[in-house]
């Protein structure tokens, strides 16, 4: 579920706090903090599935309320139930983990009824929803498409949703777009069978054990060699002092230097490009140029001195 890019971002956030505490934290504690940070991302991943179920339940409640009107219309008595019977939402509801969490008040969005109502109103006035409801095509493909549209058109870049998630957890500030994209990728892999109801497999925290090992090694080795990385940076800058370097740039440089030095199978170009992209989002406007210059100099020095520990894929230029 979590990508290497997100692992690096979580490691950056965790290591940032570690350095602010003057590095006076045990190795076990810093790893446990990073693990917790990553686990919170998976919690948000489930929470977003529950959000879609909450919207579906609101839609179903509205149908029931309209049926109970004193003078219901023909439409009230014969509502279009295509959305509430959406196969994808049904598969979410039948997933054991999602269903269990949705029964928990912390996950069922019951504290945000006005927000759920607002989301439903935005959906019902959209062209994509009305095209879906009025279409005679009642296929899995159409069910996937409407959930994709709700995510991309209504939930992505939703300021109110951002505010709610920030209020719920400080660990969720940077995960929303990535996790919504993960849900879309997951539902697009669902296949329909004539004999068996469709099922939805919730992705685990890591794609494989290699990603967890990468996260653990990255944070522990960076913390262990922080003084060495500071010295490498200062030697490259000559007459500078650490205080002149933006704190977040120092954090990013440490993590990048750890990958260059401690991950033989990781190409240096991949490492540098990853942290340059992260710096563009988290640091100053000119930081990517500064970081690129430092890393490029250190990389060339290591290469010239035959100190670059790379093998296999790590040898790719």
Tell me the domains of the chain and their CATH numbers. 4-14+31-188 (no CATH), 225-315 (1.10.940.10)
Is the pLDDT at 131 greater than 70? The verdict is: yes
How confident is residue 73, by pLDDT bands cut at 50, 70 and 90? confident
Which pLDDT does position 4 carry in this prediction?
93
Which pLDDT does position 282 carry in this prediction?
94
Read off the pLDDT of each residue in 250-272 and give the average, rounded to a whole number.
97
User: Following CA atoms 116, 121, 123, 125 in sequence, which dihedral angle do they give, to the nearest 10 degrees?
Assistant: 180
Read off the pLDDT of each residue in 6-24 and give the average, rounded to a whole number.
89
Is the pLDDT at 291 greater than 90? The verdict is: yes
Which pLDDT does position 195 carry in this prediction?
59
Is the pLDDT at 155 greater than 80? The verdict is: yes
Read off the pLDDT of each residue in 128-147 and give the average, rounded to a whole number.
95
Minimum mean pLDDT among 42-51, 201-210, 270-279: which range? 201-210
Looking at the chain, the whole-number percentage of residues with pLDDT higher than 90 is 77
Q: Tokens 């309209």 sit at which residue?
A: 66
The pLDDT mean for the chain works out to 92
Closest CA to 146 of 163, 162, 160, 133: 133
How confident is residue 194, by pLDDT bands cut at 50, 70 and 90? low
Read off the pLDDT of each residue in 26-31 and give the average, rounded to a whole number.
90
Read off the pLDDT of each residue in 114-129 and give the average, rounded to a whole number.
97
Which pLDDT does position 283 carry in this prediction?
94
Is the pLDDT at 241 greater than 90? The verdict is: no
Determine if the pTM surpasses 0.85. yes
């Amino acid at each position: 579920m979590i990508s290497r890019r997100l692992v690096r971002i979580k490691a950056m956030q965790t290591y940032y706090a570690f350095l602010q505490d003057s590095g006076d934290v045990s190795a076990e504690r810093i790893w446990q903090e990073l693990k917790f940070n990553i686990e919170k991302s998976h919690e948000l991943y489930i929470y977003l599935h529950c959000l879609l179920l909450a919207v579906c339940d609101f839609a179903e409640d509205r149908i029931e309320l309209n049926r109970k009107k004193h003078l219901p219309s023909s439409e009230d008595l014969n509502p279009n139930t295509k959305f509430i019977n959406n196969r994808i939402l049904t598969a979410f509801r039948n997933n054991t983990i999602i269903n269990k969490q949705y029964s928990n008040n912390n996950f069922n969005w019951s504290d945000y009824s006005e927000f759920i109502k607002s989301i439903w109103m935005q959906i019902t006035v959209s062209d994509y929803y009305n095209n879906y409801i009025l279409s005679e095509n009642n296929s899995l493909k159409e069910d996937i498409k409407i959930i994709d549209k709700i995510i991309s058109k209504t939930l992505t870049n939703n300021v109110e949703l951002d505010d709610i998630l920030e209020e719920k957890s400080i660990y969720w500030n940077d995960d929303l777009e990535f996790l919504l994209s993960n849900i879309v990728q997951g539902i697009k892999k669902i296949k329909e069978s004539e004999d068996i109801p469709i099922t939805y497999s919730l992705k685990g925290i890591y794609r494989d054990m290699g990603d967890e090992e990468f996260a653990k090694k990255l944070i522990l080795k960076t913390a262990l060699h922080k003084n060495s990385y500071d010295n490498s940076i200062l030697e490259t800058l000559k007459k500078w002092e650490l205080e002149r370097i933006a704190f977040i740039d120092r954090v990013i440089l440490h993590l990048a230097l750890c990958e260059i030095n401690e991950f033989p199978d990781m190409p240096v170009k991949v490492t540098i490009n990853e942290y340059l992209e992260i710096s563009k989002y988290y640091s100053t406007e000119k930081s990517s140029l500064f970081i690129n210059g430092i890393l490029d100099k250190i990389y060339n020095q290591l290469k010239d001195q035959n100190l670059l520990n790379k093998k296999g894929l790590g040898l790719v230029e």
